[in-house]
Amino acid sequence: MSVDGWNTVLVLGGIRSGKSEFAESLVTDAPVVRYLATAPEGDPEDTEWATRLAAHRVRRPGSWTTEETAAEPRRLADVLESAQPNETLLVDDLGGWVTVLLDPDHQPADDVATIAELAEAIRTCAARVVLVSPEVGLSLVPTTPLGRAFTDALGAANRAVADACDAVVLVVAGQPAWLKPAVAPVATTGSAPAAIAPVPTVTAPSATSYTDTEPTPEVQLPDVLTHAPPVVPNQEPGNPWAAPTMALPMVATGLVIQPGMELPMPDEYAGPQAVDRLATLDVPGAGLGVLDRVVGFAAATQGTATPVAWGSVRVLLLRGDHAGGASAGATLDDSARRAAQARAGRGALARLAAESGASLQVVDTPAAAAMEDQPALTPGQVESALRYGWRLAEQAADAGVQLLVLGACGVGTEAAAAAVLAATAGAEPQAVLGRVITESGEIDDAAWMIRCAAVRDALHRTRRSPRGAKDVLAELGGGDVAVATGVLLGATARRVPVLLDGPVGLAAGMISRDLAGQARHWCLLADHGGHPAVRLAADVLGLTPLLDLRLDLGEGANALVALPLLRSVLALAAALPVHPSLAGEEPDAAPDEPDHTDPEFLEPEPDGPGPATTGADEQPASGWRAG
């Protein structure tokens, strides 16, 4: 059974009821989908049947893999038994499977035993499975022996599979009616798969405090805040922002988050093509310089050689405090104050988000225990935090967000990130821990030494512990790093790029690298901010900072400062035409010389009699001499 409580679903429906389309919607955004086609090819002269099969093939995304099981009906059970937890299988449909099962080429055979074998394979399957089957129980009893044998066998298969599945839905005229469980699962909106788990009603404040332990029901995501920029005096305010996006009662995709996940990669051809195109644009100078990487990144993540500027941007501000020596030199009240400022539209982050037209979501993550004394989180909290971050990314993707910005405001985050880097990259804590700056702007060396000691003691405590991604999160990372890791993985699965800024985001990048190596290719680092941990993590992840402004406005705010520049670069690259010499056009002609015979340029005649001027080298007082 999958992590959200549901693993297998049977989708029933009549002919042309929409059952296949509904089943496909359940797995649309799963990162790894194996489509198991059970129907035989049929008579080559049956064009209508061939058209039906072609329509099914056209609907499948190119990222899906298709396997034919029509040659041997027992192979379907073998595929289910060998499936991996990170896979999603779509079986379409059991009607075709029964047709092959009753084929004389496969007789004599024990049909009842084969159906029971399939049902048992569904019960024990580690992957997520969605099966499609025609519902024949409402039709007339066929008049032919072969027709009766088919309906009997398919009816028996549907009953056995329905009993083995966690959920059963009947699709009638495109409308799903959930038959099992008794509480209807809630379907999400947009392009995300319909969720197949009931969602308990949980009232959430503007930012949900997420301190999950094993196991707990799904909670609503925090509200999305939109703040208007401050009005400039003597200037009328602009158009009001759109209404805030409501927190959707979304649930996890059911994907087991574990090492080796196969998530999508950016387009490997669009990025280089976009950069090559920049050399053809009609610009007076040498071009965009190092900012051409922005164009290449946007092109690869958008899948086009002519990317557009990111329109809808969302900032995720993660608040997660770290106890013990990690928070030396800071007060726990400081993070609460920063989060309250962001919710109220005050402070640097909220103001910059408003000026950039970005929405803001404040997320309270589980507080981490003192890592030098005990694990920062329990394994259950790590699993819940990863799934919670994934859901945050899914909610953003469903709302049409084109770019996520990761921010953090917890205390002790620098020490936690240093511990993660030491565990994953072999860094020395003192080399990646930045100086501690007090509220009065002074350097607190004593607090810095306490943080170094806390990281050192935590590494000594865990010296014999496994160094897997989830182990590092549990022992050292904490809730904010775990949720940020889930955000990176979920954004990668939904093909949403992420703008990183600060130690929490980069530490999450290091962890996500060990869970899904594709995640780092969807990340962009605007500025390292002079932080040593960010520098090292960026080097390990292969992320080259675009700028070197050395801003220190708080994690997330630095990226928002750079965002208008990045948008301008993309807008310019998309709008500029190709240079005329490369487009095959004639260059614009030089302006014509003035026509000296034009009356406008003739020397005015004198108003009265006067001496005649006959000298060839005498010049008039004004105007041009007539030629």
Task: Write the pLDDT tens digit of every residue in 528-575.
Answer: 877 888 888 888 888 888 888 877 788 888 889 989 999 998 998 888
Task: Determine which helix (DSSP H) or strand (DSSP E) holds 535, and give its type and residue range.
Answer: helix 532-541
- Which stretches of 303-435 are DSSP H helices? 332-344, 347-356, 379-398, 413-425, 429-432
HEC profile for 84-97?
CCCCEEEEECHHHH
pLDDT (0 to 100) of residue 277:
87
pLDDT (0 to 100) of residue 371:
93
427-484, pLDDT tens digit by residue? 888 888 888 877 777 888 899 899 999 999 999 999 888 888 999 999 999 999 999 9
Q: Which two tokens stand for residue 211?
A: 């301190």
In degrees and rounded to multiples of 5, residue 114 shows phi and psi of -65, -40
Identify the segments of the chain with pLDDT beneath 70: 1-6, 41-46, 48-50, 52-53, 55-58, 104-109, 182-220, 228-255, 286, 583-627
pLDDT (0 to 100) of residue 3:
35
Distance of CA 96 to the CA centre of its chain: 36
> Which of 249, 234, 179, 176 is CA-nearest to residue 18?
176
**What residues contact 413, with CB distance under 8 A and at least 6 apart?**
320, 322, 478, 480, 481, 502, 503, 504, 555
pLDDT (0 to 100) of residue 302:
92
CB 7 within 8 A of CB 1: yes
pLDDT (0 to 100) of residue 192:
38
CB 308 within 8 A of CB 270: no
Q: Which two tokens stand for residue 583?
A: 């487009």
pLDDT (0 to 100) of residue 461:
93
| Full-model pTM | 0.59
Cα dist. 494→6, 191, 337, 381, 554 in Å?
21, 10, 33, 24, 27
**How far, in Å, CA of 226 to CA of 357, rounded?**
8
Provide the annotated active-site residues. Answer: 555
- Which stretches of 83-212 are DSSP H helices? 94-101, 111-124, 145-164
Buried b (16+ CB within 10 A) or exposed e, 26-36: bbebbbbbbbb
Sign of CA dihedral 366, 371, 373, 374: positive
- Parallel, antiparallel or unpaired: strands 167-172 and 175-180: antiparallel
- Parallel, antiparallel or unpaired: strands 88-92 and 313-319: unpaired
CB 263 within 8 A of CB 516: yes
pLDDT (0 to 100) of residue 456:
93
